[in-house]
């Protein structure tokens, strides 16, 4: 089934000039980049994007981290894209991530883990609408 998912390249990765390397891994997995942009979230925007985590102890740190530099947002499309891209990202904590995954290759730690991916097709639709206006016509 052809699906779409939302990818974010997080501040730790954009600061280390890893945008191209990470997009290359994504394309190498057979996922197509349908839309792409670089932006810097405000605290309010980051808090809304990660609202599902608002009761978690790491929420405030996560907001501060996600607003510490620019991010890249991309809409990815492909066969079972949500699952395929999460497999490519690897475990949340890079210490537990498999060899060859983005997080094993590039993440710094549990928080600064280089990439975000939607965890369901429903959340992919919500997150995509949050990050992109529709002007992309993709």
Contact footprint for ligand RTP (CB under 6 A):
58, 62, 92, 110-111, 113, 116-117, 119
Tell me whether residue 105 is exposed, middle or buried, using C-beta atoms within 10 angstroms of its C-beta: 0 to 12, 13 to 18, 19 or more: middle
**DSSP states of 26-60:** HHHTT-EEEEEEEE---HHHHHHHTGGGTTSTTHH
Smallest distance from ligand RTP to CB 137, Å = 26
Annotated ligand binding at 4? The verdict is no
Annotated ligand binding at 96? The verdict is no
Smallest distance from ligand RTP to CB 62, Å = 5
Q: What angle do CA 7, 133, 2 make, to 5 degrees?
A: 50
Annotated ligand binding at 104? The verdict is no
Annotated ligand binding at 92? The verdict is yes
Catalytic residue among 12, 66, 76, 116: 116
For residue 42, report the phi and psi dihedrals to the nearest 5 degrees.
-80, 165
Q: In the complex with ligand RTP, which residue's Cβ is closer, 92 or 137?
A: 92
Q: In the complex with ligand RTP, which residue's Cβ is closer, 49 or 132?
A: 49
Q: In the complex with ligand RTP, which residue's Cβ is closer, 78 or 117?
A: 117
Residue 73 backbone class (left: φ over 0; alpha: ψ -120 to 50; beta: rest): beta
Q: 116 an active-site residue?
A: yes
Positions marked active-site: 116
């Amino acid at each position: 089934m052809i699906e779409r998912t939302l990818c974010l390249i997080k501040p730790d990765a954009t600061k280390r000039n890893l945008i191209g390397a990470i997009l290359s891994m994504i394309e190498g997995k057979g996922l197509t980049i349908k839309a792409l942009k670089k932006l810097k979230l405000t605290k309010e925007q980051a808090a809304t994007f990660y609202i599902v985590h608002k009761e978690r102890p790491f929420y405030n740190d996560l907001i501060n981290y996600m607003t510490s530099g620019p991010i890249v947002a991309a809409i990815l499309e492909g066969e079972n894209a949500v699952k395929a891209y999460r497999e490519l990202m690897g475990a949340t904590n890079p210490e537990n991530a498999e060899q060859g995954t983005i997080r094993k290759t590039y993440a710094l730690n549990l928080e600064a883990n280089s990439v975000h991916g939607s965890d369901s097709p429903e959340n992919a639709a919500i997150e995509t609408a949050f990050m992109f206006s529709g002007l992309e016509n993709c």
